[in-house]
């Protein structure tokens, strides 16, 4: 019975918030009639919304609206989320003291998102996961239950393929979502793009999660990270770029091994022998970066630069 009462209360709160955000004014007598409850029950709902942090003003006796300029759209939360906040506060309030104060702090942060903030973070714009994104939920279930899946995939060149993977994580790099996986037929670590998956079927067979998964992700700087790092790379950074590399990690397991008197840096990183984890960043920092070793990476970068110059 108590659960049912809470369900009814959540529904009332959701309805009231929806009315406030659209019609702007609600009447407690009308709401009491609409819900077939006492006037006091609706008044308690209004009080709860106000105490939770939603800024309500009394237009006249029994009539309420959001404060001027406030809307759920500006606060960046949905009606359902707003209702849930009110519901949680109703329970937290009974705990009192620090719990009540902590929840008020959370509310100030949530409801203040529509206002100008001291901070601004620019995230890469790209493929977004929505509620109806194909195979997103199925992959989530397979990852949580450690089940292998059969995948129909179309790469960037339009080539179709079918393979079986052990999905480890959904990961986001540079504007795209990837499925960090182990491919069954080759045992290699792969990252198929989520939006290129055209078919998926969960299998009965289960897999064991890679032990070093978290370390692998923590050391990564882009989607090209390997399962094992077996190649040492030594780079020279010009004085003009040195301060950036002192303050930010651009390469995996980045370490400054020498700082010259003229301001140049010698920087070490560990990658796989394919070097794809470092090549994009090296290209971005030319001419302020130089490969000292290994020779094979030096040759690859030189070839890329020469090809680019020929294309001009």
Dump pLDDT digits (tens) for 252-267: 999 999 999 999 999 9
3-state DSSP of 96-145: CHHHHHHHHHHHHHHHHHHCCCCCCCCCCCCCCCCCCCCCHHHHHHHHHH
Question: Do residues 17 and 94 share a domain?
Answer: yes
Looking at residue 4, what is its pLDDT?
A: 47
Task: Indicate if 168 and 262 belong to the same structural domain.
Answer: no
**Residue 300 domain flag:** yes
Statement to judge: residues 107 and 6 lie in one domain:
yes
Query: What's the pLDDT score for residue 120?
Result: 57
**CATH number of the domain within which 100 lies:** 1.10.10
Residue 268 banded pLDDT, cuts 50, 70, 90: very high
Asked if the model's pLDDT at residue 6 lies above 50, the reply is: no
Is the model's pLDDT at 190 over the cut of 70?
A: yes
The pLDDT tens digits of the residues spanning 44-82 come to: 888 888 876 778 888 888 899 887 777 766 655 565 666
| Residue 219 confidence (pLDDT) above 70 | yes
Is residue 222 included in any domain, yes or no? yes
Q: Are residues 269 and 304 in the same domain?
A: yes
Instruction: Give backbone dihedrals phi and psi of 168, rounded to 5 degrees, phi first.
Output: -100, -45
Reply yes or no on whether the pLDDT at 93 is more than 80. Answer: no
- Examine the fold and report which residue of 147, 175, 210 is the final residue of a domain before the chain moves on: 210
What is this structure's pTM?
Answer: 0.63
Q: Can the peptide bond before residue 287 be classed as cis, meaning omega within 30 degrees of 0?
A: yes
Q: Is residue 255 part of a domain?
A: yes
Question: Is 270 domain-assigned?
Answer: yes
- Domain count of the chain? 3
Q: Is residue 256 part of a domain?
A: yes
Residues 286 and 307 grouped into a single domain: yes
Q: How confident is the model at residue 203 (pLDDT cuts 50, 70, 90)?
A: very high
Three-state SS for 198? strand
Same domain, 148 and 44: no
* 129 in any annotated domain: no
Evaluate whether residue 204 is within a structural domain: yes
Q: What is the mean pLDDT of the chain?
A: 84
Q: With 80 as the cut, is the pLDDT of residue 11 above it? A: no
More confident residue, 10 or 36: 36
Structural domain boundaries enclosing 166? 136-210
């Amino acid at each position: 019975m108590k659960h049912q009462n809470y369900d009814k209360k959540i529904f009332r709160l959701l309805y009231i918030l929806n009315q406030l955000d659209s019609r702007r004014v609600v009447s407690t007598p009308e709401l009491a009639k609409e819900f077939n409850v006492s006037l006091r029950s609706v008044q308690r709902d209004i009080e709860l919304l106000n105490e939770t942090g939603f800024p309500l003003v009394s237009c006249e006796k029994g009539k309420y609206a959001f404060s001027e300029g406030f809307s759920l759209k500006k606060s960046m939360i949905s009606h359902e989320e707003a209702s849930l906040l009110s519901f949680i506060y109703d329970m937290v309030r009974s705990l009192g003291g620090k719990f009540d104060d902590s929840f008020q702090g959370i509310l100030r942060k949530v409801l203040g998102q529509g206002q100008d903030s001291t901070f601004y973070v620019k995230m890469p714009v790209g493929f977004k996961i929505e509620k109806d994104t194909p195979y997103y939920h199925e992959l989530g279930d397979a990852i949580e239950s450690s089940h292998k899946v059969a995948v129909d995939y179309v790469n960037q060149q339009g080539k179709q393929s079918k393979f079986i993977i052990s999905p480890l994580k959904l990961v986001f790099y540079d504007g795209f979502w990837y499925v960090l996986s182990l491919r069954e037929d080759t045992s290699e670590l792969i990252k198929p793009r989520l939006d290129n998956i055209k078919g998926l079927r969960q299998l009965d067979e289960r897999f064991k999660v890679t032990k070093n998964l978290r370390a692998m992700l923590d050391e990564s700087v882009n989607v090209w990270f390997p399962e094992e790092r077996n190649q040492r790379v030594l780079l020279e950074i010009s004085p003009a770029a040195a301060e950036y590399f002192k303050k930010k990690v651009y390469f995996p397991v980045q370490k400054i091994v020498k700082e010259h008197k003229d301001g140049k840096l010698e920087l070490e990183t560990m990658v796989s022998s394919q070097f794809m984890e470092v090549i994009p960043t090296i290209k971005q920092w030319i001419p302020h970066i130089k490969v000292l070793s290994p020779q094979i990476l030096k040759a690859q970068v030189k070839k890329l630069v020469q090809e680019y110059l020929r294309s001009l």
